[in-house]
Chain A
Amino acid sequence: MHVHVKRAGALIAGTLLSAPALADWTMNMSPGVTETSNQVFDLHMTILWICVVIGVVVFGVMFWSIFAHRKSKGHQPAHFHENTVVEILWTIIPFAILVIMAIPATATLVDMYDTTEAEVDIKVTGYQWRWRYEYLENPGTEGDPEFGFFSNLSTSRDEIYNRMDKNENYLLDVDNPMVVPVGKKVRLLLTANDVIHSWWVPEFAIKKDAIPGFINEVWFKVDEPGIYRGQCTELCGKDHGFMPVVVEAVPEEEYTQWAANLREAAEKERELTQKDWTLEELVERGEGVYATSCAACHGDDGSGGGPFPSLRGTPVVTEDIDAHMDIVVNGVSGTAMQAFGSQLSEADLAAVITYERNAWGNNTGEMVTPKEVFDYKNQ
């Protein structure tokens, strides 16, 4: 017996101690940081309490009955088997409770559907397997160019494959979060590039599907500055669990400055198309582009695997350069190879094609300039 206690203790200790120190026992959703999320939390708690009370009453009667109405206690069975009054009561009362519940639920839903008078508009596109955020011209302001960026998981593969310790925001960190101003109504226009994805931030109580070929609308207004993390919530393929949503809500002045910086950077990026690039510069830039946009399917070392072709010494990267550019810019219809022409800047496209043709021993010495890509896209 003593041995068993020791063994049980060791098993439990081992189980608990090996769990990462940052795990916790959260049992409920958070009220969140918007007025909507607080309303949703209230609805949730109300329906939960209604269910708990009904459960306690019903199960209470059952447990009492199990205890007292047993044959082994000598209890004789009663003979009743219907009672119309009681049946009517326990039909009408639950119905009434539901009506009472439906009223605040309707009010909250109506409110959540009102996307008018937004102050910031962001187009959100779900890709396999990352998000793209494009800031549209602010309503009421003239002539502001759009800017946008991709938001990729920034957790390293080493952490995922247990070669490195996992950091605090494991699987919930991105390279470029969505930045929004606190206290302003933000409207999202959601769509997708390939399959259905879904955009969710629990602390905003906002979840909406991103459907290819269609545009969905949703809005939120954040009351408190902070970083809010969510995930894709519609199965979208192999890396469905690896495309988090991160929103940084900042004071209005900070947001305005950030947006101005990004607008300027977008302008500079467009100018990069004109600059003269060396092979080394393109390869260096291309390595970064490859890691974020291509490695998920074609592998960190270009070897591919499964349905994804290898890029190591294969004809596509060593032979006709125009064919290579066509595949990268226009994708391959009917496969998972996306058309990156609309996703990456000319500089990035030129860089990644050049990188692929020179990395991993491919060494063609060939390069493609952003200007060539621009011309190719516009021919």
Chain B
Amino acid sequence: MSAVADTHAQDHHHGPAKGITRWLLTTNHKDIGSMYLIFSFAMFLLGGSMAMVIRAELFQPGLQIVEPEFFNQMTTMHGLTMVFGAVMPAFVGLANWMLPLMVGAPDMALPRMNNWSFWLLPAAFLMLVSTLFMQGGAPNFGWTFYAPLSTTYGPPSTTFFIFAIHIMGVSSIMGAINVIATILNMRAPGMTLMKMPLFVWTWLITAFLLIAVMPVLAGVVTMMLMDINFGTSFFDAAGGGDPVLFQHVFWFFGHPEVYIMILPAFGVVSHIIPAFARKKLFGYASMVYAVGAIALLSFLVWAHHMFTVGIPIFGQLFFMYATMLIAVPTGVKVFNWVATMFRGSMTFEAPMLFSVAFVILFTIGGFSGLMLAIAPADFQYHDTYFVVAHFHYVLVPGAIFGIFAAAYYWLPKWTGTMYDETLAKTHFWLSFIGMNLAFFPMHFLGLAGMPRRIPDYALQFADFNMISSIGAFMFGVTQLLFLFIVVKCARGHGEKAAAKPWEGAEGLEWTVPSPAPYHTFATPPEVK
């Protein structure tokens, strides 16, 4: 397919504005995508620093560095920052940059709303982070903020936490509307749904999940707000309410939320593996149906986070069976990625390294997830480090490595410069080793009996905790290398990038020059 000559000549007078106004008022999907990515990386470093405090305290038994009250604030804020500040905005950033390019559209469907979706986030996080400095401290009840610990027993800053969540929710919902409107209305002629790239499919489905569940999150935090400030008893038994109601509503949001955090990564990996194996993705149709099945099933499994609250047995059995079922479409995807690699002609540049590690390590996270699904066994795993190991395996080598893979894959397109491959491989290997040292021992700790969210532990847990902390420090420091690599590349210190720097890559984004011009596809391309 030929790239239509860019109609830059017509709008050369509409080049980007100068100075800070450019960034405050931009409606350009590339600018907004970059802002989301930079914001998310800053939040990743912030959330990572909190993790460093946690792992420093857990390096040895005893309380050495922080008091339990502050430790609880760190675990809470680490979770909130990573989920809402790092992973979700990063995927929205990738969506903003890549969706219009991939479907041959000039921008997102609703560019002004796009700007507001972004700028709500720094405002929300300013509020959330400021709670650390308020009287009574920051939220300290875990990122899952169960009532009544978060209502009757929460610090004064809880109301600000709720407000910040509302703002983030508005941002996510508006972003999701934009994604759906863009994908359904602005595809180039000839691009039927079943010809869309996988990243577009996964984001289309993720956007529907967001619209379905972010309002539920808004509902549960509003009920919290009412209980705290207006004398209601949604979650207070004394007033006729039920703390477990909180958990049902929260996890009805929470489970689809974790799929929101992984489906875009599935999309990224489905681009990169075919590109670096020089072989088409195996089973395109099944890959699409599998994502759809996972999304649908994700609404039916929420109470597997609640196996110990005392749900009647038929409820337990239903949620156990439904949860086990999700392994089937997820397994199909893993098999298809492997089948794509099989008998390909592979090279292992940084995007491929991160993608292959994704397949292996996310699958390990999936295995521990399958174990957790077995309800009677879950009584032993629930609220222990086994769960912490599980979700860090699906989130770190899952979502985060997916984001790194995407960044390395598309940096040449964004900046016009090839990143430093040697440094990138170093970043990969140090992250891989650090991450495994940090989180694999947590499986053992959980099985040996160590609960979650404790600042100090019994002596038999000391050795693995020390190894885990060392791995965490290693992983954390390595991310500064990534910062260096990105900045170096963005400043043009590297080889010039071709329009298509990756031999096996496919997609409309590779038909425009590198760096991508400020305005692309003013006229839509033809898709065969």
Contact = CB atoms under 8 A, between A and B. Distances in A.
B332 A212 contact: no
Given A29-B448, A102-B324, A194 B286 contact: no
A55 B367 contact: yes
Given A75-B345, A231-B451, A90 B332 contact: yes
B189 interface: no
B334 interface: yes
A43 interface: yes
Interface string B137-158: 0001110001011001100000
A174 interface: no
Contacts of A87: 283, 286, 332, 336
B243 A196 contact: yes
A328 interface: no
Given A62-B338, A112-B376, A235-B146, A98 B313 contact: no
B453 A170 contact: no
A15 interface: yes
A113 B461 CA distance: 31
Given A166-B61, A171-B458, A200 B451 contact: yes
B62 interface: yes
A109 interface: yes
Interface string A206-243: 11110111101100000000000111111111111110
Interface in B436-460: 443-444, 447-449, 451-460
Interface stretch (B252-260, B380-388, B418-426, B516-524): B380-388
B356 A238 contact: no
B282 interface: yes
B153 A194 contact: yes
B344 interface: yes
B457 A241 contact: yes
Contacts of A161: 62-63
A368 B383 CA distance: 44
A205 B378 CA distance: 9
A171 B450 CA distance: 11
A278 interface: no
B461 to A, nearest CB: 7
Interface residues on B, range: 35 or more
A110 B375 CA distance: 11
B309 interface: yes
Interface stretch (A16-24, A117-125, A351-359): A16-24
B374 interface: yes
A286 B334 CA distance: 64
Contacts of A71: 278, 345-347
Contact of B328 (A80, A91, A194, A209): A91
A62 B341 contact: yes
Contacts of B309: 209, 211, 216
B37 to A, nearest CB: 29
Contact of A105 (B320, B360, B447, B461): B320
A106 B383 CA distance: 22
A105 B376 contact: yes
A196 B67 CA distance: 22
Contacts, number: 303
Interface in A145-188: 159-162, 166, 168-172
Interface stretch (A44-52, A133-141, A314-322): A44-52
Contacts of B363: 55, 58-59
Contacts of A216: 309-310
A58 B338 contact: yes
How many chain A residues sit at the interface, stated as a range, is 35 or more
Contact of A81 (B67, B282, B316, B455): B282
B507 to A, nearest CB: 16
B484 interface: no
B9 interface: no
Interface in B300-333: 308-310, 313, 316-317, 320-321, 324-325, 327-328, 331-332
A79 B344 CA distance: 8
A24 B371 CA distance: 24
A207 B374 contact: no
Contacts of A116: none
Interface string A313-357: 000000000000000000000101000000000000000000000
B420 to A, nearest CB: 21
B148 A47 contact: no
A260 interface: no
Contacts of B370: 47, 51
Nearest to A159: B62
A200 B383 CA distance: 10
A66 interface: yes
A257 interface: no
A108 B376 CA distance: 7
Q: Which of B140, B236, B316, B380 has the most CB of A within 10 A?
A: B380
Contacts of B69: 238, 306
Interface in B469-525: 470, 504
Given A19-B466, A28-B447, A238-B68, A69 B343 contact: yes
B244 interface: yes
B238 interface: yes
B63 A160 contact: yes
B50 interface: no
A65 interface: yes
B466 A205 contact: no
A216 B335 CA distance: 42
B307 to A, nearest CB: 9
Nearest to B279: A77
A43 B377 CA distance: 7
Contacts of A206: 379
B136 to A, nearest CB: 7
A98 B152 CA distance: 42
A78 interface: yes
B149 A237 contact: yes
B371 A47 contact: yes
A80 B142 CA distance: 48
B405 interface: no
B447 to A, nearest CB: 4
Given A77-B278, A83-B283, A170-B61, 4 more contacts: A19-B462, A51-B367, A87-B332, A90-B332
23 contacts: A20-B462, A27-B443, A44-B380, A51-B371, A65-B338, A65-B344, A66-B348, A70-B347, A77-B343, A109-B320, A113-B313, A160-B62, A170-B459, A171-B456, A209-B308, A214-B244, A231-B451, A231-B454, A232-B451, A240-B72, A240-B453, A306-B69, A336-B153
Interface of B: 60-64, 67-69, 72, 136, 140-142, 146, 148-149, 152-153, 236-238, 242-244, 277-286, 308-310, 313, 316-317, 320-321, 324-325, 327-328, 331-332, 334-336, 338-348, 356, 359-360, 363-364, 367, 370-371, 374-377, 379-380, 382-384, 443-444, 447-449, 451-464, 466, 470, 504
